[in-house]
Amino acid sequence: MAPKDIDRRTILKSCGVLAMSVAAVGQPGRAEAQVQVAPQLGPPSIATRLTVNGQEVAFDLDARTTLLDVLREHLDLTGTKKGCDQGQCGACTVHVNGRRVNSCLTLAAMHDGDTVTTIEGLASPSGLHPLQRAFIERDGFQCGYCTPGQIMAAAAMLEEARRGAPSHATADLTAVLSLTDAEISERMSGNICRCAAYPNIVAAIRDAAEGGAA
C-alpha cells in the first residue's frame, strides 16, 4: 500500500448538483470558474464564501448543510470525519478563524467570510506538522478515524494553552500555565478515541508541545 499524494486541488472540483464557484486566493483578478450542473432542488440555498486551507471557495447550497458536510460531500475534503454528527465525539474538529469547532454542529451558511483549516491544510509544503509526526512516532492512533479530529483539536489546544487559557484541571489560575499530562487530557476530552489510544495521544501532544513547534 503506497501512500497516495494528497491533492489539494481536489478542492477545486465542483460540488455536483449545485452551483459552486471557486477562486484561488492570491491570484490576481481572482479568476472564478462557475459550474452549473443541475437545477437547484429543495429548500432555500444560501450563498456562502469560505476560505478553506488557504483557498477561497464559494457555494450556494441547501441551507441545512453543515460545515462538516460541505467539507466532506462538496469539497471532497474527507479527512474531516463524521463520527456522531451531533457534537459528541470530536471526529469532525476543524479550525474556524483559528478556533477549534465541531464542524457537524454548525451550518456552513453561518460561516460566510470565515477561514477554515482542515487536516488536509495542516501540513506545510515542507512536510508534516510536528503533531502529525509525533502521532506517527508515538502511535497515537490505531484505526485512524478519530485522528484528524484529535490532531486538529490538539493544534488549537496548544495555542489556547499558550495564551494561558485555564481548564478544569488548572489548580492555580494566577500561575503561569504548565501543560501537564492532566491538563492535556482534560483539554482533549472532547475527542473520543474508541481504540483508546489516549496514553499515546497525550505522549504525542506532549512531544509536540515540548518541541515548541506545534
Partner 1 sequence: MIGRAVSRVDGPLKVTGGARYAYERQDFGRAAVGFILGASVAKGRIVRLDTAAAERAPGVLHVMTHWNAPAQGPRDGSLPDQFGRPWPVLQGERVSWFGQPVALVVAETFEQARSAAALIDAAYETEAGAFDLASHAHLAYAPRTAAVGLATDSVLGDLDAAMASADVTIDQNYTTPAHFAQPMEPQSCLAHWVGDDLHVRPSAQGVAGARMALARTIRIPRERVHVDTAFVGGGFGSKLRVHEEAVFAALAARVIARAVKVAQTRRQVFTITGRRPETIQRVRLAASRDGRLTGVGHDVNMQGTSREEFVEQTATVLRSLYAAPNRLTRHRVTDLDVGLGEAVRGPGELPGLLAVESAMDELAHELGLDPIELRILNEPERDPERNVPFSERRLVECMREGAARFGWSARAARPGSRREGDELIGIGMAAAIRMHFQGATRAAVHMGRDGRVVVRSDMTDIGTGTYTILAQVAADALGVPLARVTVELARSDLPPSPGSGGSWGASNSSNAVHRACESLKEKVFGSSNASGFGRADLTSVVSRRFPDGVEGEGSIVGMADDPNYRNFSQHTYGASFAEVAVNTVTGEVRLRRMLGVFAAGRIINSKTTRSQLLGGMIWGVSSALHEAAHVDPRYGNVVNGDLAEYVVPVHADIPAALEAVLLDGIDDKANPLGMKGVGELGVCGTGAAVANAVFNATGVRVRDFPITMDKLLAALPPAF
Site for partner 1 in 131-150 (CB under 8 A): 132, 135-137, 139, 141-148
| CA-wise closest residue to 155 among 99, 88, 73, 97 | 99
Residue 196 neighbours by CB distance under 10 Å: 10
Q: In what order do the strands lie in the sheet with 45-52?
A: 33-35, 20-23, 55-62, 45-52, 115-117, 93-96, 99-102
| CA-wise closest residue to 179 among 137, 211, 136 | 211
CA distance 199 to 211: 18
Residue 174 neighbours by CB distance under 10 Å: 5
Q: Is 41 in the site for partner 1 (CB under 8 A)?
A: yes
Q: Is 22 in the site for partner 1 (CB under 8 A)?
A: no
Candidates 23-31, 95-103, 109-117, 200-208 — which segment interacts with partner 1 by CB under 8 A?
200-208
Q: Is 43 in the site for partner 1 (CB under 8 A)?
A: yes
Candidates 21-29, 35-43, 95-103, 171-179 — which segment interacts with partner 1 by CB under 8 A?
35-43
To partner 1, the closest distance from the beta carbon of 134 in angstroms equals 9
**How many residues interact with partner 1 (rule CB under 8 A)?**
71
Q: Which of residues 150-179 bind partner 1 (CB under 8 A)?
A: 151, 169
Q: Which of residues 105-124 bind partner 1 (CB under 8 A)?
A: 118-120, 122-123
Q: Is 92 in the site for partner 1 (CB under 8 A)?
A: no
- Asked if 139 contacts 120 with a C-beta cutoff of 8 angstroms, the reply is no
